[in-house]
Structure 1
């Protein structure tokens, strides 16, 4: 954290595993410790983590969200979504939240005043119909709560996991179709669609800026999930490098906050 702040980090993103017996107080204390030392945006805890800590502590999701917000939680990653179709979830992540449970946590976060992102992990066993069901569900949530800051398509990284035998991931064409469809479906309801350069690679992320994406993500600094699944694009780009990449795609770079406020 000290090094990140030194080089200009404005956000700390925290996600982790589900530790048995570790409940809400652990996460509240973590947030308080961060906020006591650093003036930084805390983007933390997936819907799955919030559900888990609530269950361990014997409190409602609403109670957990209120406690986390009071301790300093600024926004949440809308991860653990994978594909929001239960027939698919039963196969790829049977121990994670159901579609209804994921939507419940996210909408309650929005009503508590905690904005979230929304993701989709595609390119494994799902069909295009499943992908579209997922996208339209996210749009419906956004129309109800207006609490989603961005949609982040996450192309499946197929190395080092049990789904490798069933899929080698999405093609580059399918990647670009995902951005184009998201842009058309979301329209003004959800104007921010992020191209993850960590997963796509820099060159394909540049193409995505012409296919519906309007953001290429952050400088990152440290990332372990994609790397462990075979991503080769790296985990750090300086702001100057990102600006060069965006300009090379004939787009105009603009620095933003986590909540999409212009820094300029």
Structure 2
């Protein structure tokens, strides 16, 4: 194990040119030296501010025709929320001061474009100030296939109906040899890239995710990061990178792993993923988000010293990770998020979905919340 990072490798990292070979070499560096280096790059990029968003997750159905081996969420005879039920959840989020609702669901067999535009239009009509962060690339792909439309047409219609940004989920690991075993039937790497880049060119920005800690290697993780970086260099449309550790309970992949004596990723490996993400994406993607739901609150706090600068959202409810064994809670208050951030020697700031801090602060000074509201709504 190397105690120090090679000077030429460090220089390439500072210049945003870390290669796949460099990334593999960094894994042999003493972990706390790796974390320190990533933390320096974090400071150079965003300073000591650590952010969060006040939001709500809404999973509108847990029925799904997919066959993903990591999923513990889908139910054959599960629920499908009506638009009135979705609006009730948005109302609760609005009253709690949310600036964003994140809406995703399973793949219904006959779900065409009108299902998705109907949800967007219903929410926007009642709550025009709420930012809608919705529908994974798989949902967009499914809507296009079911409706016999092009990806570009579907994206244009979604934007017209009120879609603000898209979660870059359904990425898992962007290596087709992994996807064949992990999520057969899901869109291929090139198809995921096509949806994401088409969204960016339609004016819809996205996040990017990576679900790791199952059947992939470090080489696969690095290849995934390089694909994400190439997309960002091409379009500039990615707002944040979100590593998501695999939850190995109540799903086929997890059961197989446990039978082989393999379990979830270790804490050190989690921190290495965050550090490597900061280094690989330096000068390309500014924001690295930690999932407190998946990591747990204490480990998520430590990522703020290993390259991460964002703790995600308040959520209000969370179903997918919980079904797969996450037991870190489904909701967190602004007060607790800020306490975690201050405990990590960082400066807490509320942000919008697009990482606008000033907009939140200006609105806070210019508007008085209505009685019953505890934060200001993003407009």
- TM-score interval (norm. to shorter): over 0.9
TM normalised by structure 2 equals 0.69
Q: CA deviation at 1:148?
A: 0.4
Q: CA deviation at 1:187?
A: 0.5
Deviations along 1:94-127, one digit per CA (max 9) or x if unpaired, are: 1101000000000000000000000000000100
From 177, 183, 186, the counterpart of 1:87: 177
Structure 2 spans left out of the alignment, 5+ residues: 1-89, 362-379
2:14 aligned with 1:14: no
SS of the residue corresponding to residue 150 of structure 1 reads strand
Aligned counterparts of 1:206 and 1:25: Cα–Cα separation in 2: 41
Which of structures 1 and 2 has the bigger CA Rg?
A: 2
Q: CA deviation at 1:250?
A: 1.1
Aligned counterparts of 1:168 and 1:72: Cα–Cα separation in 2: 41
From 286, 289, 303, the counterpart of 1:208: 303
Deviations along 1:197-243, one digit per CA (max 9) or x if unpaired, are: 01000100011000010001110101100000000110111111100
Q: CA deviation at 1:17?
A: 0.8
Aligned counterparts of 2:97 and 2:330: Cα–Cα separation in 1: 16
**Counterpart residue number, 1:157:** 247
Alpha carbon RMSD of aligned pairs, Å? Answer: 0.7
From 318, 324, 331, the counterpart of 1:236: 331
1:15-94 alignment, distance < 5 Å? 15-38=104-127, 39-94=129-184
2:98 aligned with 1:4: no
Aligned counterparts of 1:4 and 1:170: Cα–Cα separation in 2: 33
Aligned counterparts of 1:68 and 1:4: Cα–Cα separation in 2: 22
Aligned counterparts of 1:190 and 1:133: Cα–Cα separation in 2: 16
Q: CA deviation at 1:16?
A: 0.5
- Structure 1 consecutive aligned stretches of length 4 or more whose deviation exceeds 4 Å: none
**Counterpart residue number, 2:207:** 117
Aligned counterparts of 1:256 and 1:4: Cα–Cα separation in 2: 16
Aligned counterparts of 2:159 and 2:123: Cα–Cα separation in 1: 13
Q: CA deviation at 1:40?
A: 0.3
2:221 aligned with 1:131: yes
From 315, 318, 329, the counterpart of 1:220: 315
Aligned counterparts of 2:156 and 2:106: Cα–Cα separation in 1: 22
Deviations along 1:117-153, one digit per CA (max 9) or x if unpaired, are: 0000000010000000000110000000000000000
SS of the residue corresponding to residue 306 of structure 2 reads coil
2:277 aligned with 1:182: yes
SS of the residue corresponding to residue 259 of structure 1 reads coil
Structure 1 spans left out of the alignment, 5+ residues: none
Greater alpha carbon shift after TM alignment, 17-26 vs 107-116:
17-26
Aligned counterparts of 1:238 and 1:78: Cα–Cα separation in 2: 25
Aligned residue-pair number: 264
TM normalised by structure 1 equals 0.99
Aligned counterparts of 2:173 and 2:111: Cα–Cα separation in 1: 27
